[in-house]
Amino acid sequence: MPTAEKQMERPPAAPPRPPRLTRNKRALKSLRLVAVAYSHVERDDFPTREAYEAELEVEERARQVLAELEKLNIPARGYPADRYFFTNLIVDAPDIVLNLVDTLRGHDRLQTVIPAALELAQIPYTGAGMRGLVIGNDRQLFKHLLTAGKIPTPDFQYITRRGTKVQEALGLPLIVKLNESGGSVGIDNKAVKETVAEAQEQVDRLLETYRIPVIVERFVDGPEITGAVFDDGHKKHVFLAEKQFREKADGKHYFTSLESYQDARSYTYCPVEPVLARRIEPLARRAFGALGNRDYAKFDIRVDEEKGTPYFTDCNPNTAFGPDPGLPFTEVLALHSVSFADVLASLMSKYAKRIRKKG
């Protein structure tokens, strides 16, 4: 294996100018109770330990969000998404549910149960609705919608059964992903394959292990950009940051793998060059609307190092939301001088104003 090398450094772009997020202090004072909903995680619900451990952090993240709400003098309480979840909400009747639920019984696709029930109960909630979560948890659907909206995404193949031949027309190299699941589950340091035969072996292994469909995607060599979108009710703000990797995950390519989450030094963020940022920002806003996102979302974008084309590879409609500086959404916004407290206050303010108007 070739020796890993430090990513080539480019001259840093100028620090982005911090935006002003809409915030209404009077509306915030009117909130009686905010419910922070989060995943109830049990080991038996997950096919592998790595998938289980990837979800454990949500409990601590919920506690951190509750502490931030307390700093804003907003009454709040945590609600695990277990069998008593909806009964407790009906009894307590919160003004807003801040939805941090990633999985139900170990399945990302069951996320839609939460907004469905909240809409039936007419309880306002943050984040994507049913449509946005269905799309966000189905990579092949997400990519078809991007293509229809003329938003670049790499060529791909959707595979549901072992033995299905990987299409050589996709080109090389290839990266194999689970069609659903977040946190880079299934994407290890060896996820990028140099031959069709290697990709075929990875496809069959993932299908056997996780028992869900997979995506085989043309891997785009070049910079990796994290795009965060936040809608404060008046404007969809786009925040971009480029990952500067310490070393190549597999000795050949720079990309985010499951192992990189265990290494705080695996990459750092830096500002995106202004010309490239201006090219990506309108695409991010279009993608946000086309994919049914609401309030906030995160996009993974790979930029072709030869053509300069930005390719949208993944979307997280309800991306990890919390004050931990290691969370991509929070870290990217911090690069733009926007704190989590600013975002949380703006988000709660938006919903509080709507509640006051209805009242």
pLDDT at residue 53, rounded to an integer: 66
Which tens digits make up the pLDDT trace of 121-172? 999 999 999 999 999 989 999 999 999 999 999 999 999 999 999 999 999 9
Residue 303 CB: number of other CB atoms within 10 A? Answer: 23
Least confidently predicted of 146-155, 232-241, 253-262, 290-299: 253-262
Residues whose CB falls within 8 Å of the CB of residue 46, separated by 6 or more in sequence, listed in order: 52, 55, 106
Helix/strand/coil for 317: coil
Domains of the chain: 20-127 (3.40.50.20), 156-218 (3.30.1490.20)
pLDDT at residue 355, rounded to an integer: 84
Q: Provide the mean pLDDT of the chain.
A: 89
Q: What is the CA radius of gyration of the chain?
A: 20
Contacts by residues 196-205 (CB-CB < 8 Å, ≥ 24 positions apart): 196/166, 196/168, 196/172, 199/166, 199/174, 200/165, 200/166, 202/176, 203/159, 203/162, 203/164, 203/166, 203/176, 204/162, 204/163
Least confidently predicted of 69-83, 182-196, 274-288: 182-196
What distance in Å separates the CA atoms of residue 152 and residue 120, rounded to the nearest whole number? 36
- pLDDT over threshold 80, residue 10: no
What distance in Å separates the CA atoms of residue 61 and residue 207, rounded to the nearest whole number? 31
- pLDDT over threshold 60, residue 183: no
Bridge partners, residue 37, by sequence: 79, 99
pLDDT at residue 7, rounded to an integer: 52
pLDDT at residue 154, rounded to an integer: 98
Closest CA to 162 of 116, 134, 201: 201
Residue 220 CB: number of other CB atoms within 10 A? Answer: 25
Kind of pairing, strands 76-81 and 34-39? parallel
Which tens digits make up the pLDDT trace of 84-102? 999 999 999 999 999 999 8
Strand order across the 267-270 sheet: 267-270, 236-245, 224-231, 296-303, 310-316
What distance in Å separates the CA atoms of residue 63 and residue 12, rounded to the nearest whole number? 36
- In three-state form (DSSP H/G/I as H, E/B as E, the rest C), the secondary structure along 118-143 is HHHCCCCECCCCHHHHHHHCCHHHHH
Phi, psi dihedral angles at 294 (to 5 degrees): -150, 140
Which tens digits make up the pLDDT trace of 208-227? 998 999 999 999 999 999 99
- In three-state form (DSSP H/G/I as H, E/B as E, the rest C), the secondary structure along 165-226 is CCCHHHCCCEEEEECCCCCCCCCCCCCEECCHHHHHHHHHHHHHHHCCCEEEEECCCCCEEE
Q: Is residue 2 very low, low, confident or very high in pLDDT (cuts 50, 70, 90)? A: very low
Mean pLDDT computed over 102-108: 69
Q: Is residue 3 very low, low, confident or very high in pLDDT (cuts 50, 70, 90)? A: very low
pTM exceeds cut of 0.85: yes
CA distances from 302 to 22, 31, 220, 286 (A): 31, 41, 6, 17
